[in-house]
Amino acid sequence: MSLEAHIPALPVIVPLLAAPIAAYLRPRHLAWAAATLASIASFAIAVLLALATRDGSIHRYAMGGWPAPFGIELAIDSLGALVLLIITGASTLAIIAGRETIERDIEPHRQPLFYAAWLMVVAGLAGIAITGDAFNVFVFMEISSLATYVVIAAGSDRQALTAVFKYLIMGTIGATFYLIGVGFVYMMTGTLNFADMQARLADIPYVAPVHLAAAFIIVGLALKAAVFPLHAWLPNAYAHAPHAVTAFIAACSTKVTILVLLRFDFVVFMGNIAEHATQFALFVMPLALLGILFGSGVAIFETNVKRLLGYSSIAQLGYILLGASFVDRAGLLASVLHIFNHALAKGALFLAIVALGHHLTRFEIRDLHGIGRRMPWTLGAFSIAALSLVGVPGTAGFISKWYLIVAAFGQGSLGLVLVGVIVASSLMAVVYLWRILEPAWFAAADPVAAGAADDKRVGEAPVGVLAVVLLAAALNVWFGLVPAFPLELAGHAADELLRHVP
């Protein structure tokens, strides 16, 4: 086989091989360089794959030459490619922007290990996105989760330890539930390959274990994806992780789990369990709506900026699930598109936090007072990303919100209620973001806020960091005006997911 034929495996292989190398590289800057290079390489491959799946094709790769369903198969479709793009893109931007803050917050001798763990996260998440094997998902989930716990707890913030312990417990329960569910399906079908499961379940006369499997898998994945009310681990994990880590995982980690949830439910269960579409809608839609309202509502009263954005993520995940719960093309398209656009917006917001982190040690809202005068470009980028999160036209967030509302109108009279919730939540987003932005632009620096470092005349973040932040903000505008690329991928992803739905 030529090298080209192996490209589908590379998004996992490259970071996985680079990780041990980074762990042993000294001095630590070399480890950073290796991790960055691996991340950039993965991103380049992800771009190639995304372009290749643009026509809706699926690229399959048999690991070790063992054909499916016996061996592990990678199957890269538009959905996988889109999420892969988010993972590698977020990793690349965050690791470039985060170098100085990581250097400051993590002890020097631990940094190579930190970068190794970072690459393991990339490898694990990428693996989940592109594998076609249910057990393989679990393996990659464990790889990424364990590595995620490490990178979250790596900073100097001691509270990260309790946050990550909570995450570890919840994450392990989620993964275990998922494994139990996969076990049931394996028991009934004798296969672990998604496509094969889908084909074989049709012949199973006794469906009770499959129902049980569906329940375990949905709940387990909902836990890992921080779906309301299983979100409790998320806000603190975001708040206490090193800024660069937050920027990375906030953009992609929960979305990868959503991808598995969509795959399992739409590919495997919808065609094989009678009325599963209704079950899915009845289970997911209320949680999505509650999540939207709860996340936005709590964010309005939250005073820590990072935790506030965490709660906002819970609401945004609600949008993604809401679209999926319609079980039609319009809804799924909106849902997948929002996976991409929310990653753009939230990634840019947290990247701006990385830049602000050069001068701020705490992120209470009052610590940001008056920061716009000292870091106008960073706060400008933050503001653009905030507009995207709200869904103001001209930004990426507007496009997915548009599709979501159009899809909601297609739900008949229920649609009006759904539109009301979406609109109300958008307005709540205006409120919670404005609470940050107005004092940040206009208020005088708070003398009590210790983090503000008033004595030193601080200015903008370093040029390299600023460039990344501005690029992220510019992407929000670019994909708000030229949305064709993510739209095509989302359209194919929706078609592919619906292919097995009766």
Instruction: Give least dist CB 342 to other proteins, A.
Output: 17
Cβ closest to other proteins, residue 386 vs residue 497:
386
First to last CA, the chain: 38
> Cis before residue 229, ω within 30 degrees of 0?
yes
Cβ closest to other proteins, residue 217 vs residue 399:
399
Instruction: Give least dist CB 369 to other proteins, A.
Output: 12
Cβ closest to other proteins, residue 235 vs residue 372:
372
Cβ closest to other proteins, residue 154 vs residue 390:
390
Give the span between the Cα atoms of 291 and 297, in whole angstroms: 9
Give the span between the Cα atoms of 325 and 344, in whole angstroms: 23
Q: Provide the binding-site residues for other proteins, judged by CB under 8 A.
A: 387, 390-394, 399, 402-403, 405-406, 409-410, 419, 423-424, 426-427, 430, 434, 438, 442, 481-483
Instruction: Give least dist CB 387 to other proteins, A.
Output: 8
Locate tokens 């690791």: which residue? Answer: 95
The one-character DSSP state at 59 is E
Cβ closest to other proteins, residue 262 vs residue 387:
387
Instruction: Give least dist CB 453 to other proteins, A.
Output: 23
Instruction: Give least dist CB 334 to other proteins, A.
Output: 12
Cβ closest to other proteins, residue 62 vs residue 443:
443
* Sequence-separated (6 or more) residues with CB below 8 Å from residue 152: 160, 163, 164, 167, 237, 240, 241, 242, 245, 249
Which letter, b or e, does each residue of 429-450 get, where b requires 16 or more Cβ atoms within 10 Å of its Cβ?
bbebbebbbebbbebebbeebe
Q: What is the identity of the amino acid at 396?
A: A
Q: Are 342 and 400 a contacting pair, CB within 8 Å?
A: yes
Copy the structure tokens of residue 436: 């940050």
Cβ closest to other proteins, residue 101 vs residue 411:
411
Tally of CB atoms within 10 A around 82: 29
Copy the structure tokens of residue 91: 């990793």
Give the span between the Cα atoms of 84 and 343, in whole angstroms: 12
Q: Are 299 and 311 a contacting pair, CB within 8 Å?
A: yes
Instruction: Give least dist CB 435 to other proteins, A.
Output: 11
Cβ closest to other proteins, residue 241 vs residue 399:
399
Give the span between the Cα atoms of 467 and 359, in whole angstroms: 17
Instruction: Give least dist CB 339 to other proteins, A.
Output: 18
Question: For strand 59-62 and strand 73-76, is the pairing parallel, antiparallel, or unpaired?
Answer: antiparallel
Copy the structure tokens of residue 428: 């709540």
Cβ closest to other proteins, residue 106 vs residue 405:
405
